[in-house]
Chain A
Amino acid sequence: MNTETTRPAATDDTDLLVSTAQLAALILLESGAETFRAEETASILCHAAGRSEAEVIALPTGIFITVDRRDGGKVTSVVRIKKRTIHLFRIEQVNALSRDFTAGKLTLSELNERLCRLRGARIYRPLAIAAAAGFSSAMFSLLFEETLGLTVLFDIAVTFLCAFAAQSVCLLPRLKNAYLFSVTFVSSMLLSAIAVAAVHLSGIGNLSCIIIGSITPLLPGISLTNAIRDTVMGDLVSGTTRIVETLLIAIGIACGVGVVLFVYVTHLGGAI
């Protein structure tokens, strides 16, 4: 009858709680949220489950979480974060789910299941995202034009093509685990090569506007904002790491565009 007496009570949900809170923080950091948001969400979830003593440390590359068991011991779990993308939809959903859990509308296992489904969720197809990058860049190049004329239309069309190609490179499934710097470098080289070819062959068009418009989707505006936010919130390690990441991306773009323009100016006799 009493074979189960040595095991902890079946109602001890610490393991599930730890993995759920960790999953929530993991989704947040993988989708481009700030570090303090990930830490806060995990501790709010633990708090809502009645474990106010939980400790969470989140870094851009990993999450550590420790929760006390009801019978004394501690449960600690570590997870490594490999890919970091921008996916604001998932941040919003994790926020809504943790709000529901805190209000008691969801049980712990339901929350875990919803989070597992959310981790791979996406709302737009890769092709739609690449096309959106094209349209967005085209509008940015229009924004930087100083006059309104017919060649503006040519610039817009070329910008669309450049940004579409660059974003497609970034979204290739094969490159998902590649280092961000190299992907940025290759795609900015590609976009400036297309822009230079189009302007050189047709003889019309504003090369600067085309390139500035097309690099906009690659610019690390979001990681810089998050870096400063982390620093202001006191997460010094994350803040410093993200500032370095931002600088690396910016240097990657500048090198990719610079190499192509350098070859264009010195070997093809182009003028910029």
Chain B
Amino acid sequence: MNETVLLLIRDLAACYLAVFFYGIIMSVRIRPLLISAVSGSLGYVTFRLIFLTGHEWLGYLAASFLIAVSAEILARFCKMPATMFVLPGIIPLVPGVGLYQTMLCLVRNDLTGFQSSGVKTLFISGIIAVTVAVVSGAARAAFHPHPKKTTSAGST
């Protein structure tokens, strides 16, 4: 039990720094980055907590939903595009482990493992990306109703 808590605290700290430095690779300015690193690390710890109870898919879904929603809120608050907060935040969830294991199965000539971990990796990245896309699409529909275009083809 104590070990688990210690590992979670380590995850929180490591994740904060990892997201922070990853944001610098993507050329985000320092100030928004300090905030989005918080949402990124909290999202990852949410995933870990749900993962420990045995619901891996639900963990990815909940964590990316949390990150996307908090990014939309932060974007309205700071008057910046939500992309600035989403993209650094979801990086810890991106299944690098899955890609590595898929590749490792291929190197070991284990085609069954290759298939299963490849499909799993594809599914995980799909869950994250679709959640982010749906949340940002919903936010656009709610806050930015598309301006009515005066269709002009030939009428003027």
In the bound complex, what is the Cα–Cα distance between A220 and B139 (angstroms)?
24
Could you tell me the dominant secondary structure of chain B's interface residues? helix
Does the CB pair A221–B90 fall under 8 Å?
A: yes
Does the CB pair B21–A132 fall under 8 Å?
A: yes
Q: Is B111 an interface residue (CB 8 A)?
A: no
Does the CB pair A92–B80 fall under 8 Å?
A: yes
Q: Is B5 an interface residue (CB 8 A)?
A: no
- Listed in ascending order, the chain A residues whose CB lies under 8 Å from chain B are 32-34, 37, 43-44, 47, 52-53, 68, 86-92, 95, 99, 122-124, 128-129, 132-133, 135-137, 139-140, 142-144, 148, 167, 208, 211-212, 215-217, 219, 221-222, 224-225, 227-229, 231-233, 250, 253-254, 257-258, 261-262, 265, 272
New A-B pairs, 17, CB < 8 Å, besides A88-B87, A91-B83 = A87-B26, A88-B27, A88-B84, A124-B27, A132-B21, A133-B21, A136-B19, A140-B96, A143-B18, A216-B22, A216-B91, A219-B99, A221-B91, A224-B125, A225-B128, A254-B99, A262-B107
The smallest C-beta distance from B39 to any residue of chain A, in angstroms, reads 15
Do A143 and B84 form a contact, CB below 8 Å, given A89-B29, A224-B125, A261-B107?
Answer: no
The smallest C-beta distance from B152 to any residue of chain A, in angstroms, reads 4
In the bound complex, what is the Cα–Cα distance between A142 and B103 (angstroms)?
21
Do A148 and B6 form a contact, CB below 8 Å, given A33-B83, A86-B26, A216-B91?
Answer: yes
Does the CB pair B100–A215 fall under 8 Å?
A: yes
Q: Is B69 an interface residue (CB 8 A)?
A: no
Which residue in A144, A148, A215, A225 is a CB contact (below 8 Å) of B129?
Answer: A225
Which residue in B14, B84, B126 is a CB contact (below 8 Å) of A92?
Answer: B84
CB neighbours (8 Å) of A233 from chain B are 133, 137
Does the CB pair B25–A132 fall under 8 Å?
A: yes
In the bound complex, what is the Cα–Cα distance between A208 and B102 (angstroms)?
12
Do A123 and B29 form a contact, CB below 8 Å, given A91-B83, A258-B107?
Answer: yes
In the bound complex, what is the Cα–Cα distance between A87 and B81 (angstroms)?
13
- C-beta contact mask, B137-156 vs A, less than 8 Å → 1, else 0? 10000000001011010001
Does the CB pair A217–B25 fall under 8 Å?
A: yes
* Residue in chain B with minimal CB distance to A217: B25
In the bound complex, what is the Cα–Cα distance between A91 and B81 (angstroms)?
8
A–B complex contacts, Cβ < 8 Å, 10 sampled: A52-B152, A87-B26, A135-B17, A135-B21, A136-B24, A221-B94, A221-B125, A222-B87, A258-B106, A261-B103
In the bound complex, what is the Cα–Cα distance between A53 and B151 (angstroms)?
7
Does the CB pair A92–B86 fall under 8 Å?
A: no
CB neighbours (8 Å) of B133 from chain A are 225, 228-229, 231-233
Do A212 and B96 form a contact, CB below 8 Å, given A92-B80, A139-B18, A258-B103?
Answer: yes
* Residue in chain A with minimal CB distance to B147: A47
Which residue in A47, A88, A99, A227 is a CB contact (below 8 Å) of B28?
Answer: A88
* Residue in chain A with minimal CB distance to B68: A225
* Residue in chain B with minimal CB distance to A47: B147
In the bound complex, what is the Cα–Cα distance between A123 and B14 (angstroms)?
24
* Residue in chain B with minimal CB distance to A222: B87
Q: Is B136 an interface residue (CB 8 A)?
A: yes
- C-beta contact mask, B89-117 vs A, less than 8 Å → 1, else 0? 01110101101101110111000000000
Which residue in B106, B107, B130 is a CB contact (below 8 Å) of A228?
Answer: B130
In the bound complex, what is the Cα–Cα distance between A227 and B122 (angstroms)?
14
